[in-house]
Structure 1
Amino acid sequence: MSTLFIKNMVCNRCILVVQNELDKLGIVANNIKLGEIILEKDLTTTEREALENVLDPLGFEVIDDKKSRMIEKIKNVIIDLVHHQDNDAKTNLSDVLSDALHHDYNYLSNLFSDIEGTTIEKYFIAQKVEKIKELLVYDELSLSEIADRMNYSSVAYLSNQFKKVTGLTPSHFKQIREDKRKPLDKV
């Protein structure tokens, strides 16, 4: 078995797209999750080139270097935490990342900042704001319920952070209903 690391896999649809491309190429994967493909066997050079050629136009990229793989893992843990889990409990981001990636948070934080030019915390906030936009557009939850679901201590705190990132209050964003959402891989 071997593992490939793929940049920009941010949702379940991405997993389906990658699975579909692997099937077309006849490449067997034992497991596909955000940012990772566990293959039944190592790829030949020809298979790898063919895979890279079909993934690239779809916005995915096979990544080889250790630091880039770690950055993708950090992003995928954050994306999963914000977009794919119902967080009933208050979670400490540094603990979640350290536990998931088996590295000291200071190492992860410094690496992320050096490579991405922003902090893990800012990336985390940007992801939370994108999720809040999604919840506002769905119009199924009150702002208070969204604040609770996204683990904000108050609606005021959520509103201040939202405005700092977007320049709009949540209620103004909801009123204009313009498509202000960014794809997750562009956050």
Structure 2
Amino acid sequence: MVIYIKNMVCSRCKMVVEQVLLDLNLQPEQVLLGEAYLKEIPTKEQMNALKVKLENLGFEIIDDKKSKLIDAIKTQIIVLIHHQKEDLNINLSYFLSGQLKHDYSYLSNLFSEKEGITIEKYFITQKIEKVKELLMYDELSLSEIAYQLNYSSVAHLSSQFKKITGLTPSFFKNLKGNKRTEIEKL
């Protein structure tokens, strides 16, 4: 049996969810980003306890198909931007269609309807969050960051960064205690 879990977007999330499953004697076969595969079907009491424990930790069990698909879109984008080591030279619509086995226009319309923003806007927001992370690490130049995240130029990155954050990348980098947003809150 598979359980879909909202806000499970990092390795630490997977470890936390796996521990919750083990604590409830729900033997997980595999825990992936956004989903947990169980060896047996949980009882109603186990599912209720799981729901409560996960909600206390900031997660949510997803029940309907459309919500599962929206969460899968977000997870694919997060994995693509935050967990891949390759450059982002990719066509997002082809990538999502291929990964999720749905026509992109359907995915796009569903996402916009339910989330109030486009997939592209969500993708850009995630990219800007990655830019913030890389700026804070101070290991790459702005040119290297632009190349890694597949921006056509530093000017394009800077323009998009300022449009989203209201700050230039250089100003953000020099801020004391610069604030990043948690991925699951984007």
TM range (shorter): over 0.9
Distance across 2 between alignment mates of 1:102 and 1:26: 33
Q: How does 1:1-187 map to 2 (within 5 A)?
A: 2-88=1-87, 90-187=89-186
Question: Which stretches in structure 2 are left out of the alignment for 5+ residues?
Answer: none
Amino acid at match of 1:132: V
Please tell me whether the aligned partners of residues 172 and 178 of structure 2 are also in contact (alpha carbons under 8 angstroms).
no
* 1:9-33 deviations in Å (ceiling 9; x for gaps): 1111100110111111111111111
* 1:20-73 deviations in Å (ceiling 9; x for gaps): 111111111111111101111111101101111110011000010111000000
Distance across 2 between alignment mates of 1:135 and 1:94: 25
Q: CA RMSD in A?
A: 0.9
Please tell me whether the aligned partners of residues 162 and 169 of structure 1 are also in contact (alpha carbons under 8 angstroms).
yes
* 1:84-119 deviations in Å (ceiling 9; x for gaps): 002336100001100000000000000000000000
TM-score, structure 1 length as denominator?
0.97
Distance across 1 between alignment mates of 2:86 and 2:63: 32
Q: How many residues align?
A: 186
Q: Match of 2:181, SS?
A: coil
Question: Which stretches in structure 1 are left out of the alignment for 5+ residues?
Answer: none
Q: Which runs of 4+ in 1 moved over 2 A?
A: none
Amino acid at match of 1:95: Y
